[in-house]
Chain A
Amino acid sequence: MTCINIAPVKFSNNSFLKKIIKELNSRFRSDISLLALDLEMEQTYSEDRGQFFSSQIISLSTPLTQSVPGKILLITEVDLFVPVLTFVFGEAQLNGKHSIVSVCRLHEEFYSGISDDDLLFQRTMKEVLHELGHCFGLLHCIDWDCVMHSSQGIEEVDIKGNFYCKTCARSVDGLK
């Protein structure tokens, strides 16, 4: 069974991490572990945009995690981008090992100024499951109730479901 490693990079909220790992444990039979990574992210920072380049962060993490089995999901508080797009919630290697999720734009505070921890957790779980889904080879799903539906804006993160649909679930190894 494929184990899943959660690697915080520029992420300081330990109780939030624990909550994510607990939730993943309730959904997967696989081992869910916390992975400490000594990643120098500064070189991926774009001064023009005030954001970090997600593909480069994934590239930097690759040599550091060669001996780590399973999937690796980086989680960060900084805002991410890829060229052409204004931002990304996350990025994943399709059918690969690495993915990254940023909670920066998942904070309700970012949009309405109102802090909502429960909503942040729900949104983060959706994006974590979504990016992991890509690592398991899943493409975007047309079912809005499926967590693999694409979400290019926060509204769409909120609309989509927080579980894999039956069809997508078949491709995710170790799901309960």
Chain B
Amino acid sequence: MNNKKEKILVVDDEKIVRESLFHWFQEEGYQVETAEDGETALRIFDKNKFDLLLVDMKMPGMSGLELLAKIKEIDKDTIVILITAFASVPTAIKALKDGAYDYVTKPVDPDELEHLVKKALEQRSLRVENEALKGSIDEIIKPDNLIGESGQMKKIYELIHTVAPTDTTVMIRGESGTGKELVAKAIHINSRRKYFPIIPVNCGALAESILESELFGHEKGAFTGAQFKRKGKFEMADGGTIFLDEIGSVSPKMQVELLRVIESKQFNRVGGNQIIKSDFRVIIATNEPLEDLVKQGKFREDLYYRLNVFSIVIPPLRERTGDIPVLAFYFLNNFCNAMNKNIKNISPEAMEFLTKYEWPGNVRELENAIERAVVVGKGETIKVDDLPFHVSSSQAAGTDGDNSMSAMEKKHIARVLNENNWNISRSALELEIDRVTLYNKINKYGLRNPYK
């Protein structure tokens, strides 16, 4: 969805250039008009208000620089970007002195042009937008899949609401699978940085050897095979947010680098001398207490204090069981659409299993459980048997706080059976009972083999 309202006027004497830029900006969602010379541009500009003009420097009649001066006389806030086939330093300086926002050389890198136009328009609209936003937003925009209406989740939405409009570094804590990345995304899309990307970096998944090039990019020829310059994650996050997941797994060497970049917001690409500046916000996530890592000497204290500015703790799913039905139906609907299935309900027994299960893998595990149930499910309702075995058998083993000897025995036998894929001989051997006794216990406790 795109609701851009900004108006752009392209001024160039070459039809082919006007047409190319017209289509290019149109796809971006801008309202675009074109003019073949300075005089026509002024006539159009007189009748309509434009946010940005892209002007060719060299045109017959009025030059780009002359047009720039006239436009600035009419409206000094209009952004003018000049395009030139041959950049020369004196003309560039003159253009900038006369109020041009910037100038680019033909042919321009599409990424560079997009960034330039976006930044220029963003700067222009930011003041107005910020004022308008203050006080007007009382509800956050949630990513489609950030779900939950429990008290704990509402508290998290409030925290997102508070911290999103600022540029504060946010630390998100929570067990694996609780949705830390979704919370990071919610912060990003509720911030002024929403038109720029949020770049996720899974620090735990990156090998030390490629981490530097991944994070900081590389220049052409920096190493064998580097045929083209490449931006790193910090550079890609310019204007937006960098989301550093599993920050606790970063090596001591990289911790030093991270601290330096986060503080200075500048770095070099691998194999390059040019200092790259990037305006990014930092959101980090961890599923292990960083304080402990600091105490153990595995995580730098200075980096910890730099990152621990505003903390959001996401509760595990077992502590917000009220959200399980709504999450389960959300996933059910998604998977049914994707798989062309027509399952509409979850049986009361299956839902009871879902709400009582401990969910060590949290929301991600619930999602997988529902996916599996949709794959195997028949008819219009998900039944207990459709759920993955570790959900049903764990429930069968009793997670309801019953600590009686028989409940513990049932739980223990179920666990050993599951670990041995219900191989009776191996399970009996491990339990140090004979196979007949094991069969009797299975019948006694009503345990079911999920593989049958």
Contacts and interface: CB of A to CB of B under 8 A. Distances in A.
Contacts of B144: 165-166
Contact of A139 (B2, B114, B199): B2
Given A86-B107, A91-B23, A159 B197 contact: yes
Contacts of A176: 340
A139 B16 contact: no
B110 A88 contact: yes
A167 to B, nearest CB: 4
Interface residues of B, number: 42
Nearest to A115: B225
Contact of B27 (A113, A150, A153, A167): A150
Contacts of B110: 85-88, 152-153
A113 B224 contact: yes
A176 B109 CA distance: 36
B24 A113 contact: no
Contact of B1 (A134, A152, A153, A168): A168
A144 interface: yes
Contact of B108 (A85, A114, A134, A144): A85
Contact of A159 (B23, B106, B199): B199
A81 B108 CA distance: 11
A110 B230 CA distance: 10
A141 B195 CA distance: 10
B340 to A, nearest CB: 7
Contacts of A81: 107
A7 B11 CA distance: 35
Nearest to A134: B27
Nearest to A149: B197
Contacts of A83: 14, 16-17, 20, 106-107
B52 to A, nearest CB: 15
Given A139-B29, A144-B197, A113 B226 contact: yes
Task: Select the residue from B27, B198, B225 with max chain A CB neighbours within 10 A.
Answer: B27
15 contacts: A49-B107, A55-B16, A84-B106, A85-B20, A85-B113, A94-B26, A111-B228, A113-B225, A139-B2, A140-B27, A152-B110, A152-B115, A165-B1, A166-B144, A167-B1
Closest 10 CB pairs of A and B: A113-B225, A152-B110, A153-B111, A167-B1, A152-B111, A139-B29, A82-B20, A139-B2, A152-B114, A86-B107
Given A111-B226, A139-B27, A159-B236, 6 more contacts: A82-B20, A112-B230, A142-B1, A142-B2, A152-B113, A152-B114
